[in-house]
Amino acid sequence: KEMYRFCATMTTPRTAASVQAKSCMRRLMPYSKKCVQQQNRTKVSKTYSGAKTRHRPMVRLSSQPREKFKGKRIGNPFPIYPHEVSDQMIVSDPTICVPIYARTGIVPEAGKDVKIFDIDGCDKDRIKRIREACRLAKRVLNAACDFAAPGISTDDIDVFVHHLITEAGGYPSPLNYHGYPKSVCCSVNEVACHGIPDKRPLQDGDVLSIDVASYLNGFHGDTCATVIIDGGFEDHELFERASHLVSSAKEALSAGIEVCRPGGCLSDIGEAVHAVADARGLQSVRDGGGHGIHSHLHCAPLVKHFRNRDKIELLPGMIFTIEPILTEGHFALNTWKNGWTCATIDFGLTAQFEETVLVTNDGVDVFTLE
């Protein structure tokens, strides 16, 4: 999922900003090479009707967009919609180590090669620092899950997470990553991932996924969990649906971790997750997936959570996340106009759990366990 603040054909932010189409800027459209005319690099299409065909979408849409979906709408009759979003916070403490994108929103290329750490040699200190970043993310995630309650907005959770991470000397990894405006992702009900925190108060029965990532001492840690907002639960049917979904997503994560071992195959993870989803009568979301993580928040390998043919051998020293998203309906997603938030096309509820793992010489080490 690539998104650019500046034109891919330009070398400096200042030069790139001068050729940005205002209509595309308002719609948070990313740049592409076709955005700049061949005759004059300082001219671009000034109307959206002319520019929309010159940009690729921020997030890849599923093969079945909503207008082509013929299935039954199974979710909430009153789906989630965008609410007021507060101003973006900043990390001004000069003692905190911040990632390179913290000021500009420009994320450097991570490369296509999978990073293999030397477990028993020179990378011991780096692995230790990644583990510390992961444990910080997990502590903050647990606190955020406890903080979530009816009447609390996801914007309140964002402020809560931001302060917890910065007080611990870390930086909230999502903040300004490719321009993302918040310090945490909060996805409610049919929103599968990348939900931008806003002023909407949480309600009894909401299914909330909180994705926390922290940057500490030069490395990232990433984790996620889903909670059910319990304010008494007058709708017992909804509670049973939500509980079944959340427990299944947690089981799918455990199944994916169990098959991680040296000499195994990356596709074993997708097979294990998909098998749990099938057994529970659910679907595993195809868009997105787990990812490598170290000094880059997202890098190779891409970990798919459905049956696939990615024949990549798991080797000692690989560090990546496993983060399946299960849904009670169709697995296809549509992306909101903000370019980030992805929701199910039939408004079915979703749940996600995530851990960061290291493949060791004899198995797997889960970094995001306290």
DSSP string, 2-37: ---SS-TT-SSHHHHHTT--HHHHHTTPPP-GGGS-
Tell me the CA distances in angstroms from 169 to 91, 95, 214, 366, one per residue in order: 10, 8, 10, 23
What pLDDT band is residue 1 in, cutting at 50, 70 and 90?
A: very low
Predicted TM-score (pTM) above 0.85: no
Looking up tokens 């994916």 gives: 256
Angle at CA 194, nearest 5°, toward 10 and 98?
60
| Phi, psi for residue 316 in degrees, rounded to 5 | -55, 135
Contact 208, 229 (CB under 8 A): yes
* pLDDT tens string 196-218: 999 999 998 999 999 999 999 99
State mean pLDDT over 264-273.
97
What does the alpha-carbon distance between residue 171 and residue 93 come to, in Å, rounded to a whole number? 10
Which carries the bigger pLDDT value, residue 46 or residue 248? 248
Low-confidence winner among 2-6, 243-247, 344-348 (lowest mean pLDDT): 2-6
Predicted local confidence at residue 77, as pLDDT: 63
Contact 187, 352 (CB under 8 A): yes
Q: What b-and-e string marks burial along 349-361, b requiring 16 or more CB atoms within 10 Å of the CB?
A: bbbbbbbbbbbee
Partners of 313 in beta bridges: 265
Question: What average pLDDT does the structure give for the chain?
Answer: 84
* pLDDT tens string 147-190: 999 999 999 999 999 999 999 999 999 999 999 999 999 999 99
Tokens linked to 361: 């010489």
